[in-house]
Copies of this chain bind each other. A is one copy, B any other.
Amino acid sequence: MKSKTETLAEFAKNDLFARFIGIELLEISAGRALAKLEIKDSHLNGVGIAHGGAIFTLADLAFAAAANSYGDSTVAVAINVNVSYIKAAGKGTLYAEAVEISKSAKIGTYSAKITNEKGELIASFQGMGYRKSKKLQ
């Protein structure tokens, strides 16, 4: 059986896009995950603030980790995501914490809050995952 640290390391390593962007998975437990992204120049949009796509991807990784936190022989893929952007974020650290709202055999609902280092809410994310009977790679 894998240790929690191994699971974390593997999950983060396998997500090439999250790794490319610089997202770090900090914590994972049953139905919950916490991720982090250091906002640098390469994460800014045309208005000079953290890009909606970077914020989305951060929350999406936390969502995916929470949805796949049980280590069983299924994999949950996102089918719908809704994001509300609350406050612009500049350079600095952003965190996304995803928690499970509901889970049935096939469908799980997750909510994530994206906050900055002062704990201010930057965006609110809600995602639905669909569980397939295929092992996570």
CB within 8 Å of B: which residues of A? 11, 14-18, 20-21, 41-48, 51-54, 56-57, 60-61, 64, 68, 75, 77-88, 101-102, 104, 106-107, 109, 111, 121, 124, 126, 128, 130, 136-137
Complex formed: what's the CA distance from A16 to B46 in Å?
7
Number of copies: 4
A121 smallest CB distance to B (angstroms): 6
CA–CA, A130 and B15, complex, Å: 28
Give min CB distance, A19 to chain B, whole Å.
8
A78 to B88, CA, bound (A): 10
| Most interface-central of A79, A136, A137 (chain B CB within 10 A) | A79
Q: Binding site of A, secondary structure by majority: helix, strand, loop or mixed? A: mixed
A82 near B85 with CB under 8 A, answer no
Task: Given A42-B16, A44-B17, A53-B57, decide whether A79 and B75 contact each other with a Cβ distance below 8 A.
Answer: no
Chain B residues near A64: list those with CB within 8 A.
45-46
CA distance in complex: A106, B121 (Å) = 17
Looking at A17, A42, A52, A68, the one whose CB has the most chain B CB atoms below 10 A away is: A17
Contact yes or no, A44 B16, CB < 8 A: yes
Q: Which residue on B lies nearest to A88, using beta carbons?
A: B77
Contact between A51 and B86, CB atoms less than 8 A apart? no
